[in-house]
Amino acid sequence: MGRVYIFTRFERLWHWIQAVLIIGMLLTGFEIHGSYHLLGFEQAHRVHTMTVWAFIGLWVFAMFWHLTTGEWRQYIPTMKNIDKIVRFYAVGIFKGEPHPFRPTRERKHNPMQAQTYLGVTVVVTPLIWLSGLAYLFYNELGAAGFRVDLGTIATVHTVGAFLMLAFLIGHIYLGTTGHTPLAHFRAMFTGWDDDH
């Protein structure tokens, strides 16, 4: 078994800050939606809004980092060996077969991961951001002459939140599928992948 340095310090920091912010937005967002009572509507709204702006700031910085370092290439989807990856997650993982993909510094994500991350980045995140900003600036949009139904905005935002929650659950589950249940999590803390 060999160790490979996969995730840089920035990538790990970005990953964990992003995770905390997403969980914070989900918790406060579902409270704003009325799913439960923990902070109260006003406090949940205030925390949700602050978290959103922190998240947007993090993404602007992360996009700059990805563009200047060339790491954006990690998210280019590929169909190469996708059949092996799908077969592994559908059957092989339950038979104890080895994962058919080994991450490297040049290609950190297997084809299924790259496609999923791209989908979250270009579909789910914009869906949440655009509907959330329309929700936040609803009165200003109305004053500017845009007639958008608040119920539609809320529904779109809630659908986006559930898609992000589904991604988060799947992401955490798949994080347990390394050679040990904590191997992938350890790699996201240390940067080193010893799953070789």
In the chain the domains, ranked by start, together with CATH numbers, are: 2-195 (1.20.950)
Token pair 């092996």: residue: 84
Terminus-to-terminus CA distance in the chain, angstroms?
Answer: 5
- What pLDDT was estimated at residue 195? 61
Task: Specify the 3-state DSSP secondary structure of 108.
Answer: coil
Q: Show the low-confidence residues of the chain (pLDDT under 70).
A: 1, 195-196
- What pLDDT was estimated at residue 152? 93
Rounded Cα distance between 150 and 116, Å, is 30
CA-closest candidate to residue 31, choices 167, 164, 158:
158
- What pLDDT was estimated at residue 3? 83
Hey, what amino acid is at 30? F
pTM listed for this prediction:
0.88
- Contacts of residue 182, defined as CB under 8 A and 6 or more positions apart, other chains included, come to 176
Give pLDDT tens digits for 67-122. 999 998 888 888 888 999 999 999 998 998 888 988 888 888 899 999 999 999 99
> Of how many residues is the chain composed?
196
- What pLDDT was estimated at residue 106? 86
CA-closest candidate to residue 163, choices 129, 114, 111, 123:
123
Q: List beta partners, residue 192.
A: 5
- What pLDDT was estimated at residue 1? 53
CA angle, 126 then 112 then 8, to 5°: 75
